[in-house]
């Protein structure tokens, strides 16, 4: 229990990476964890694209306004989800993404959710069929440094009892 919670608390968004390659066995294990995410009617509408080609990573990062650092990682994984397979493709794909990121943390690997990844130019580069949306493209690699923990809101301020606004936990 302790170890599991620690993984959740220790995960940080990583934006700088060592050059060390990530073994395929580990990539496989991380994707297996992603695959075990819950999905509506167990439809599993996701697919994964592993991107290692440096030129491709650089080109993709040029279309990511907040993800220029993508090309500094040894590889990236695009998590894509099909609107034909599930009307809840965004939620399903997001659950898989979070599982993937937490599993990566278990192996000492860094990831970062990058917004605005569902871009037509990027879809063209990766030859992604029309019906798929890109949930995100996360870099994957061993962190070059561990960033400070971005502050969280107080549990006391965001948890209510029976109705909105009535605090469940009292502030000290």
Ligand X SMILES: Cc1cc2nc3c(=O)[nH]c(=O)nc-3n(C[C@H](O)[C@H](O)[C@H](O)COP(=O)(O)O)c2cc1C
Q: Contact residues for ligand X (CB under 6 A)?
A: 12-13, 15, 66-67, 112-115, 150
Nearer to ligand X, 134 or 166 (CB): 134
Residue 38 C-beta: closest distance to ligand X, Å: 18
Which residues have C-beta within 8 Å of that of residue 5, sequence separation ≥ 6?
none
Q: Give the nearest distance from C-beta 59 to ligand X in angstroms.
A: 17
- Tell me whether residue 149 or residue 164 sits nearer to ligand X (CB atom): 149
Could you tell me the smallest distance in angstroms from the CB atom of residue 165 to ligand X?
Answer: 26
Q: Which residues contact 110 (CB under 8 A, 6 or more apart)?
A: 12, 14, 17, 104, 139, 140, 141, 142, 143
Helix (H) or strand (E) run with residue 172 in it: none
Taking the C-alpha atoms of residue 97 and residue 37, their distance in angstroms, rounded to an integer, is 8
Phi, psi dihedrals of residue 17, rounded to the nearest 5°: -135, 150
Among residues 120 and 161, whose Cβ is nearest to ligand X? 120
Residue 151 CB, nearest distance to ligand X (Å)? 9
Nearest distance from C-beta of residue 64 to ligand X, angstroms: 7
- Nearest to ligand X of 75, 101 (CB atom): 101
- Give CA separation, 56 vs 48, 124, 133, in Å: 16, 11, 19
C-beta of 40 vs 119, nearer to ligand X? 119
Q: Which residue is nearest to ligand X (CB)?
A: 66
Using CA atoms, how far apart are residues 157 and 123, in angstroms rounded to an integer?
A: 41
């Amino acid at each position: 229990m302790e170890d599991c919670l620690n993984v959740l608390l220790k995960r940080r968004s990583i934006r700088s990476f060592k050059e060390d390659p990530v073994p395929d066995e580990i990539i496989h294990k991380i994707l297996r964890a992603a695959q075990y995410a819950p999905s509506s009617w167990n439809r599993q509408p996701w697919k994964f694209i592993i991107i290692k080609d440096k030129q491709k990573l650089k080109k993709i990062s040029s279309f990511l306004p907040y993800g220029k650092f993508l090309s500094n990682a040894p590889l990236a994984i695009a998590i894509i989800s099909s609107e034909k397979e599930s009307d809840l493709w965004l939620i399903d794909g997001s659950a898989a993404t979070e599982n993937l990121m937490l599993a990566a943390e278990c192996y000492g690997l860094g990831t970062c959710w990058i917004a605005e990844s569902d871009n037509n130019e990027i879809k063209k580069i990766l030859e992604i069929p029309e019906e798929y949306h890109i949930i995100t493209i996360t870099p994957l690699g061993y962190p070059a440094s561990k960033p400070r923990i971005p502050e969280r809101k107080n549990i006391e301020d965001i948890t209510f009892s029976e109705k909105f606004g009535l605090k469940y936990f009292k502030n000290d």
